[in-house]
Structure 1
Amino acid sequence: MIILFISFATVFSMNSQTANANDPLGLKAEAAILLDAETGKILYAKNPDTVLGVASMAKMMTEYLVLEAIANEKITWDQKVKINEYVHKLSAAPGLSNVGLTQGEEYTVTELYQAMAIHSGNAATVALAELISGSEKNFVTLMNQKAEELGLKDYKFVNSSGLNNSSLLGNHPAGNQDEENIMSARATAKLAYHLINDYPEVLDTAKMPVLKFRDGREYKNFNWMLPTLIYQYEGVDGLKTGSTDFAGAGFTATAERNGQRFISVVMKAANKDERFSETRKILDYAFSNFAEEEIVPENFVVKGNDKLPVVKGKEDTVKISTKDPINMVIKNGEKENYKTVLVLDEKKLNDEGELTAPVKKGDKVGYLTIEPGEGEDLGFLTEEGKNNIIVDVVATQDVEKANWFVLMMRGIGGFFGNLWGGISSTVSGWF
C-alpha cells in the first residue's frame, strides 16, 4: 500500500509539474484567460473552454440586460420597485450576500443596481429581473437568449443572481434545485468584453469601493483590488467577483493604465484571497509584457506586389498599397514575428490577373492581414476583433480608359507582333 501510494503521488507530482511547465504563469486556479479589452485578442489562456460554476459573475449578464433596458427606455434609473415578500425574505437569508430590502417599500432602479453591482446583492438582482421580465423565470430565458445573441458558447443560466438554486428558498426559476449557472472562462470573458464595450458606463458603478445605502450602512465592494481596499491594484476599476461551494472563488477583473485596458478571468480558485493573488499575476504579466504596436504602417506596399497590371488603360499598371495601418497588442519584442498576407479580390481581376480600366484612386482591390510567422497565436474572442487586423488594399492612382484609337492600334500592333513572332519561329526552325 505504501509503495502504491508513493507511486501515485509521484505520478501526480509529475503531471502537476508538466501542467505548470505548460503554463507560463503557473496559476493554481482551474481556468483563466487574459484579453486586450479593445479588440478581444486573447493574450493568455489556461483551460479556457472548461465549463465551471460561475457563481455571482453571472450577474454580469443581469447588468448587461439592465443597462440594455435603460438604453432602450424600457425602464429608467429613477423608476421605483416595490419589494415583494419573496425578495424581502431572500434579502434576509443567512449566509448570502445581500443588502436588506423591506417588504412593501419602494427602491429605485439605481439603488437596486448599485446593491447588485457593488455588494453583489442577490435579492436586489432578483428584484431587477422581475422588473424587466415580469418573473425571474422569464428573465432567465432572456439571459440565455442574450448569451446566444452575443455569441457565447459553453454556458447555462438557471437564475439571475449566480446563487445555487438550492439557496433560493424553494423558488428556483429554472432547472432543478441543485443546479447553478455554468460558463467557461472564454464565455465569461466574452460576456465581460461585450459588457464593457457595449455599456462602458458599467465601470462607473463597478469602480465604487463602498456602497452607502439608505439604511445608513456602508457595504464594501467584493472586488478587493479596487483603490482603498486590501488588495488594491493600480488601474483596476471592475468588474465582478463570484463564490460558491460549487464554483469555488472566481473573479472577472479589468484594469487600465496609460490607455491600455485588459480583461482577465480567474475561475475556481481555492479561496477568495487566491482569486486576487492569481489575478495580480495575470495583470502583472499583461502590463509588463504586452503593448499596442503598429505592425503595418499606413500606405504599406508589399514587396514584389507594389502594382497590378491593367488592360484597356492609358497605363498598363497601377500602384497599390494599404489604406490604413494595422495596430495590435502583442508581446514585447515579437513584432518581427508577424508576416503580411495579401489577398486580391478575384472578382475584380480577369482570367489573366489584370484589372480593367478605368481604375479610380482609392478603389479597393483586395485586403491585407497579418499572421504569426512563428510562436503561438491564441486568436481573437470575436470576429469583429479579428477584423481589426484586416485592412483594405487600394489603388493609389487613377488609370483612365484608353480611347478607341489607342485600343485599335494596340490591337493591330499585337496582331502583327504575334504574326512576326510566328514567322520568326518558323524561319528559325529551318536552320
Structure 2
Amino acid sequence: MLGCGSVGSQVVRLLGEQADDLAARVGARVELAGVAVRRLDAPREVDVPADLLTTDAAALVARDDVDLVIEVIGGIEPARSLILSALENGASVVTANKALLAEDGPTLFEAAEKAGRDLYYEAAVAGAIPILRPLRESLAGDRVTRVLGIVNGTTNFILDKMDTSGAGFADALEEAQALGYAEADPTADVEGFDAAAKAAILASLAFHSRVTAADVHREGITDVSAGDVRSAREMGSVVKLLAIAELRPTPEGDDAVSVRVHPAMIPRSHPLASVREAYNAVFVESEAAGQLMFYGPGAGGSPTASAVLGDLVTVARNHRQGTRGVGESAYADRAVLPMGETRTRYHVAIDVDDRAGVLAAVAQAFAEQGVSIQTVRQEGRGNDAQLVVVSHEATDAALAATVDKLRDMEIVREVTSVMRVEGTEE
C-alpha cells in the first residue's frame, strides 16, 4: 500500500478486522506486504507493524511477491510513476487518485492493458457510493444520456448551511473548517477543481470517450452570495455545486459530450435538492433504465476505504482466476463541446432605473441574442428597483452575450447576480 493517511489507515484496519471474511470472498488470504510512507515516525490512526513500514515506495511496488498495489497518496507525482512501475512489474492497481485519473488516465489504462493487469478506481469518485461500477458494468447494455451529481461534500455542506441558516459564504466556510469538512486551504473544493476531476471520470465512463479535467468547464462557489441563495428559495429552488455530463446533438447529427461544474439553482422537487450537509449523490439518466440515483457519504477515511476494499476483492479474485476486469472503454471517441455551445438557462438579477420602458429594453437585449425569457419579476421601487429574469434554454455563449449587453445599458446600474438554472422548465 502506498500512503497511510486517513484512507490508508482505515484500509489497514479493515484488512485486519475483516481478514477472515475477505479470505472467504476472495478464496485466499489477503496479506499486507508493506506500507510506503513519507515518515516512519508520523502519528497514525491505526498501529502498523514496524516491519511493514518503508519510505522506499519504488522498491515496494517493484517486489516480485506483490500481487496488488493500493495507491492512496494522491497527487500526480510520484503516484503516476509508482502506479506505472507497479503495472510494469506485474501487479494490479487499486487507486483513489481522481486528480491523476482525470489528468492522465489514458496513460495508466494503456499501461494496465499492456501488462494484462487490472486498474480499478471506485474510490476516486464519491467515496463509498458505488457509482463507477454501475456505469462501467451494470449499465453497459444501456445508453447513458446524462450524469448529474453533487460530488464534493465540502461545497455541499457550505451551500446547505447558506440555505438553511441564511449565512454568507465566508461564515459557512468557517463552520465547515471548524467541523473538519473543509481543509485549511479549501481551494481545490470551493473553486471546483475536485468536482471537475470527478466529472471528467464520470463522463469518460458514461460516454465511452476520453475526457480530461482540462475538458471540464469549471466554476466554484466563492461568488455565491446569500442573496443568490435567497433568490433561489423564492423560486422554490436551492443552490448546489453540480457536476454535469451529458450528450448533446451536433449540427452534423452526431453526439458530443458536454461536461461542466458550476453552481446552479435546481427545483426543490429534484432528488438532488434534498442532499444535505456533506453527503454526495449522483443522478443518472439512461434510455432503458430511466432515472437512477446513488446517494451516500462522499468522503472520509472509512467510506473511501470501503470502496478501496470492494475493488481489492474484485481484483484479487481476478488475479486468482487468471483473468482481468473491464479496462478503458473509449471506443465512442466523442468530441467535447466547448462551454459556449452548451445549452443551459440563466437566472439574472439586474439593478435598474425605475422608469417606463425598462422592462421592454431588457427584454429586447435578450431577444437580440435569440434568448427567450421564461419569467421576469420586479422587486423594489426607486433606487432599490431590481429585475429578476429566468431565461429559457439557450447556448451559454448567447446567454453570456446577453449579460454583457445588459451591463452596457444605460438603464442598468448593475448586474448583481448571474447563475445557471438546471431542472425541467415549468
TM-score range, shorter chain: under 0.3
Specify the structure having the higher radius of gyration (Cα): 1
TM-score, normalization by structure 1:
0.22
TM-score, normalization by structure 2:
0.23
